[in-house]
Amino acid sequence: MTNHFIDYQHSDVWLCIGANPAENHPMAFRWITKGKEKGGKLIVADPRFTKSAAMADLYAPHRPGTDIPFLLGIMNYAIQNNLYHREYVVNYTNASYIVHPEFGFEDGLFSGFGDGGYDKASWAYTGEKDPTLEHPQCVFQLLKRHTARYDKRTVSQICGTPEDLYEEICKLYAGTGEPGKAGNIIYAMGITQHTYGSQNVRSIAMLQLLLGNIGIPGGGVNAQRGESNVQGSTDMCMLYHLLPGYNPMPNANTHPTWADYREKATPAAGYWVNRPKFVVSMLKAWYGEHATAENDFCYDYIPKIYGDHSHMAMFKAMAEGKVKGFFAWGQNPVVGGPAAIQSRKAMENLDWMVCIDLFEIETAAFWKAPDADPTKIGTEVFFLPTGCSYEKEGTVSNSGRWIQWRWKAIDPPGEAHSDLWIADRLFKAIRKGYQQGGVFPDPIVKMTWDYGDDHYDIVKVAVECNGFTVADGEPVLNFTKLADDGSTACGNWLFSGYYNDLNDPPCKRRDTVDTSGLGMYHNWSFCWPVNRRIIYNRCATRPNGQPWNPEKALFRWTGTEWIKNDVPDFNANVPPEETANNPFIMLPEGQGRFFASGMAEGPFPEHYEPIETPFKNIMSKQQHNPCAKLYADNFAPVGSEEYPYVCTTHRLIEHYQSGALTRNQPYLVELMPEMFVMISKTLAEKLHLKSYDWVVVSTPRGEIKAKLGVTPLIKPLMVHSKLTEVVCMPWHWGFQGLGRGAIANDLTPAAGDANTSIPEYKAFLCNIRKA
C-alpha cells in the first residue's frame, strides 16, 4: 500500500477491483464506512456480487481476468474527456518523456518480440521531454493511442459490464482527476493472480498517476495483503528472487561477484543508489567480523540463483525428482498451491519433508490424502508443532506497512514452540554438523548467530534487523545512517528505525494521539520507510508546495519552510521547486511511470485472455500473455466445449488462507463448515441443479465434489453477446482439521504471471455436473 487503512477515510471515491474488503479486510471497511459518511462513493468491480458490492454505490460485474480493459477504459475515458490531472501528469510522471523512435505496438505485441521474449532496446527513453505532451512519440501520446482502443463498447464486450453502467463508473472515477479530489484503488488477489497480474497492478498505478491520486491523502495504490503479516514476510524476502528489503537476489550469471552486483544491481539515479550500503550492512549483520571489505563482506557466501525457483517451478522440479527435501514452514501448498493434485503427487518423490505448523495440516498429511496410497510413499515426514501469533513475540507488518510489535499472550501448548525457537535450534544443530566439516561449511559456520544460548533473545533479533553501528552495537536511527564500508550492520534496511530506541522502540508505541489531524498516528507503531505513512508524498502538493486540497494538507510550503503532517518523501530542507521533478525518489527518473520498460510483457498493459478462456482475444491476434510462465500443459483449449464455464476462486471472512488455522477453530467452522460452490440461478436452472445438491466441478487438472449453493448474487455476464456463466468457489478447505472439504486448488492451472510467477487462480475454465 502506498497509503494505509486509516487514510481510506479521506477518499472521495474508492474503486475496489479484485478485492473484497468487506469480506477479507473488514477493518479496512471501517474507514470506507467513515468516508462514505462524508459523502465518499464506493465502486466495486467483481465477477460476484460480493459483500463489498452490497455496500457499493456502483457495482460493476465483470468477467474474471478482464481487469486491464476495465482499467484502461477508464484511462481512455479520462483522456478523451480531458478529466485527467494534467498538472500532476506533466510534473510528476514520465508522460512527457520521449520514447525511442522504433518503439511500437502492433497486433498485441510490442516492438522487439522474439523467441525468448522481448528485446527491450526500443523501450528506452531518448532523453528528451515534451512538457506540452504533444510529441507523437512522447509517453502520453503513446498512452493515449494505446488506451484509445479500449473504448467503452469494446470494454463492455470483453468484460461483460453493461455499457451504460461502465460509463457511469468511468465518469465517477475519472472525476477524481480533478485537482484536490482523491480516488483510492483498492485491490488484492483478484488483480494479482493472473498470468498478467503484474500488468493488472500496473494498470492501477497508471490510472492513479493519470488522475493524480498517488502520494495524496485518500489516494493511493492500495494492495490489501492476503494475510496479516504477508507484508512483513515479503519485506523480509519470503520471495525467492529477493534479499531482505527488496534488494535483488544475486544471480549466478549476472552477479557472480560483489563487484558485478554492486555495479549491475545499483541504478545510476534514484534512492536505490544507496543499495550497496543496504546490502553491505546486511552482510555485516549476517557475517559480522568475518565480513570485511577485503572479502567483499562475504558476498560469496550468499547462494546465487540460476533460474526459476518459484513455487510452481519448485514443485515441477519435485515432480521430476530433482528436489529431495522440503521445508513447509507456515505454508500449506497442498491446499494453497495451484494444481494441487499434481503437487501432492510431486511430494511423493521427496525423501523427507519437515512441516512446521500449528496443526497437522494437509501438507504434513499429504501421504494420507484421499487420493494417496500411503503404502507406496517413502517420504519421511517430520512435523514440528509451533505457536500461533498470540503464542510468540515479534512483529506483524500490515498492508499499510506498519510494523507492529505483538506481545505474547500465552505459551504455545504442549511441545509446541515459537518459530524462532525452532529456527534457533535448527541453525545451531546444522552449524554443529558443519563444524565437523563439509563441502563448504563457511557460510554456515561463520554466520553470526548471537541471540542467546539456550533461549533466544528476540530483542537482539530486532536490533539486528533495525541495524546498529558495529563499533558500539548501538541501534542506528534509521537507514540514512547505514554505510557501505562495514561500519554498520543492518538485517533489513527497510525496517531500520523500527527498533532504534531500546527503551521506547517505535514499533512498540501505542499512542493514539494524532498530531497530523489526518489520522496518521505517527506514534502508533512504526511504518516503513522511516515512519512515512504515505509514500511518494511529494505529490501531495503542487510543484510550488501548495496542497491540492487545503482541507487535507499533508504538507504546505509557507514560503520559507514546509509545514509537515507526515514524514516527507523528499528533501524538506530545500524549496519545493527543487524537489518538484523528483517525487518518485526510488525511480532513476524520479517520476512516476506510465511507461515501464522493466515489465516482461510490455511497457504498457495490454489485454490478453487468461490461459483458459471461452473467448478469442478481440483486441489482437495474441490470445495469451506472450511471456506467461506455463508449468504444465493440462489447460483447456480456448472456447472449450468440455469446460464451458468460467471459474474463479475467492475467500471467506471466516477462514484464513488454506484454513490451517481457522478450520481447526470450532467457532469459525460453525460459521462456515464445509466446501461449497456457488452458481447463478440461470445456470442452476439450465443444469437442473438446486442448492445443497452435491456437484462435481471438473477441469483438465482434476475434479472435486462439493455442495452447491444457488444464489442471486452471481449473474451471467453478456460477453461478446454471449451469456457467460461464472462458477465461484472458496479455496479454504482440505482433508484435515475440524471442517473438511474438497480442495479448490485441485482445479486451478499451473500457469504463472510473466514477472512474478503468481499462479492464475482467478480465471480458468470448468464444468459442473450433479454428483
| Contacting residues toward other proteins, per CB under 8 A | 22-23, 26-27, 29-30, 33-34, 49, 51-55, 653-654, 666-676, 691-692, 707-713, 715
DSSP 8-state symbol, 636: P
Q: Cβ of residue 406: shortest distance to other proteins, in angstroms? A: 19
Question: C-beta of 691: minimal distance to other proteins in Å?
Answer: 4
- Distance from C-alpha of 651 to C-alpha of 24, rounded to nearest angstrom: 7
Q: C-alpha 29: how far from its chain's center?
A: 19
Of 315 and 676, CB closest to other proteins: 676
Concatenated DSSP letters for 150-163? --HHHHHHHH---H
User: For residues 177 and 739, which CB has a smaller minimum distance to other proteins in the complex?
Assistant: 739
Question: What are the b/e assignments for 420-451, b being 16+ CB within 10 Å?
Answer: bbbbbeeeeeeeeebeeeeeeeebbbbbeeeb
Shortest distance, CB of residue 5 to other proteins, whole angstroms? 11
CA Rg, the chain, in Å?
A: 26
Residue 507 is which amino acid?
Answer: C
What single-letter DSSP state applies at residue 122? G
With respect to other proteins, which residue has the nearer C-beta, 30 or 368? 30
Class of residue 303 by CB neighbours under 10 A (exposed 0-12, middle 13-18, buried 19+): exposed
Minimum distance, C-beta of residue 709 to other proteins, in the bound complex (Å): 4
- Smallest gap from Cβ 715 to other proteins, in A, equals 8
Of 26 and 588, which has the nearer Cβ to other proteins?
26
Q: Which SS3 state, helix, strand or coil, does residue 26 take? A: helix
Q: Compute the least distance from the CB of residue 707 to other proteins, in Å.
A: 5
d(CA 569, CA 582): 10
Q: How far is the CB of 692 from other proteins (least distance, A)?
A: 7
For every residue of 459-496, DSSP letters joined together read HHHHHHHH-EETTT-PBPSSGGG--SSSSEE-S-GGGT
Question: Residue 420 or residue 675: which is nearer to other proteins going by CB?
Answer: 675
Task: List residues bridging with 764 in a β-sheet.
Answer: 647
Q: How far is the CB of 731 from other proteins (least distance, A)?
A: 15
At its nearest, how many Å lie between other proteins and the CB of residue 698?
Answer: 20
Please report, to the nearest 10 degrees, the dihedral formed by the alpha carbons of residues 701, 707, 709, 710 taken in order.
Answer: 80
727: phi then psi, degrees, rounded to nearest 5: -105, 125
C-beta of 675: minimal distance to other proteins in Å?
Answer: 8
Neighbouring-strand partners of residue 402? 527
- In the complex with other proteins, the residue whose CB is nearer, 425 or 770, is 770
Q: Which is nearer to other proteins, 245 or 730 (CB)?
A: 730
Identify which of residues 9 and 198 has a Cβ nearer to other proteins in the complex: 9
* C-alpha span between 626 and 623 (Å, rounded): 8
Cα separation, 284 vs 276, in Å, equals 12
Residue 633: burial class (beta carbons within 10 Å; 0-12, 13-18, 19+): exposed
Q: Which is nearer to other proteins, 536 or 676 (CB)?
A: 676
CB 173 within 8 A of CB 43: yes
Residues forming beta bridges with residue 765, ordered by sequence position: 646
- Closer residue to other proteins, CB minimum distance, 379 or 711: 711
The continuous run of DSSP H or E covering 189 comes out as: helix 189-192
Residue 55 vs 586, nearer CB to other proteins: 55
Cβ at position 230, least distance to other proteins in Å:
20
Q: Which of 86, 178, 97 minimizes the C-alpha distance to 130?
A: 97
Q: Nearer Cβ to other proteins, position 34 or 100?
A: 34
Min dist CB 764 to other proteins, Å, is 23
Length of the chain: 771
